[in-house]
């Protein structure tokens, strides 16, 4: 399943580097710590699983890696670029081009067709000279050639997740970040979705799956456990 539109970088630096990161949120006047002294390297082409119970901080770590949030202290580098000091616009562009998101609840727009949902990220940022052609190619590869004009309410859970994967890939991101991607699927369909991630990784894509399920984590090359806001092993 070779669906890279552009060649991936081939230098040897990590694609993600998190160094001595602390993250906390303000609850009124009270500071609530979530992550403490987190350091992590993710190499290009790696298949990594981040596991941990609810409330462990793994979703917060995912948000930092996905450029959805900034650390309170410490440094996060994405392809060598430090998030600190970047404007919101620069951060949004980096996120739009370098990171593809796949969510448990699919996050498809109900009134749009599968084809239109896949095209959505290209309205803000696009690497493709022909986004519509790219969207059709991705949906065909995902086995949805005859479902392009269907809306999410007309699709099964597995089909909806395939649409969300196609949408995540439309800008040919360096990193595919999946948050509980099989959580709303039956075991057979979930296995099929995980096979898609494995094929993408074999093609050179960096894949990071966030999950609470150790059975899902077994598909990854490396697993880290986040517990009580710290990394227990990596």
Share of the chain above pLDDT 90, in %: 84
CA distances for 115 relative to 77, 148, 171, 211, angstroms? 33, 5, 14, 28
**Is 234 a residue whose pLDDT tops 60?**
no
Angle formed at CA 4 by CA 102 and CA 49, multiple of 5 degrees: 40
Residue 212 confidence class, pLDDT cut points 50, 70, 90: confident
pTM: 0.90
In the sheet with 81-82, reading across from the earlier edge strand, the strands are: 30-42, 16-27, 73-78, 81-82
Residues 115-173 have pLDDT tens digits of 999 999 999 888 888 999 999 999 999 999 999 999 999 999 999 999 999 999 999 99
The full set of domain ranges for the chain reads 16-233
Quote the DSSP letter at residue 70: -
Amino acid 7: pLDDT: 41
C-alpha 212/C-alpha 234 separation (Å) is 16
Residues 13-65 have pLDDT tens digits of 899 999 999 999 998 999 999 999 999 999 999 999 999 988 899 999 999 99
C-alpha 118/C-alpha 215 separation (Å) is 29
Three-state DSSP class for 98? helix
Within 33-156, residue ranges assigned H as helices are 58-65, 88-98, 114-119, 131-141
C-alpha 57/C-alpha 107 separation (Å) is 22
CATH fold for the domain made of 16-233:
Rossmann fold (3.40.50)
Amino acid 230: pLDDT: 95
Extract the tokens encoding 200: 């993408």
Q: How many residues does the chain have?
A: 234
């Amino acid at each position: 399943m070779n669906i890279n539109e552009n060649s991936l970088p081939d230098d040897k630096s990590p694609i993600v580097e998190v160094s001595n990161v602390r993250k906390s949120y303000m609850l009124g006047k009270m500071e609530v710590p979530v992550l403490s002294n987190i350091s992590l390297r993710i190499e290009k082409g790696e298949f990594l699983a981040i596991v941990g119970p609810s409330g462990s901080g793994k979703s917060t770590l995912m948000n930092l890696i996905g450029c959805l949030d900034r650390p309170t202290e410490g440094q996060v580098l994405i392809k060598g670029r430090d998030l600190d000091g970047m404007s919101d616009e620069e951060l949004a562009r980096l996120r739009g081009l370098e990171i593809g998101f796949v969510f448990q609840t699919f996050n498809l727009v109900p009134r749009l067709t599968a084809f239109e949902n896949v095209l959505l990220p290209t309205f803000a940022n696009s690497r493709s000279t022909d986004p519509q052609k790219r969207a059709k190619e991705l949906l065909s590869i995902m086995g949805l050639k005859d479902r392009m004009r269907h809306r999410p309410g007309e699709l099964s859970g597995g089909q909806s997740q395939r649409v969300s994967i196609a949408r995540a890939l439309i800008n040919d991101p360096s990193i595919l970040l999946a948050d509980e991607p099989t959580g709303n699927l039956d075991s057979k369909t979930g296995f099929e979705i995980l096979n898609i991630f494995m094929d993408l990784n074999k093609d050179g894509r960096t894949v990071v799956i966030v999950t609470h399920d150790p059975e899902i984590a077994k598909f990854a090359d490396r697993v880290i456990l986040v517990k009580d806001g710290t990394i227990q092993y990596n």
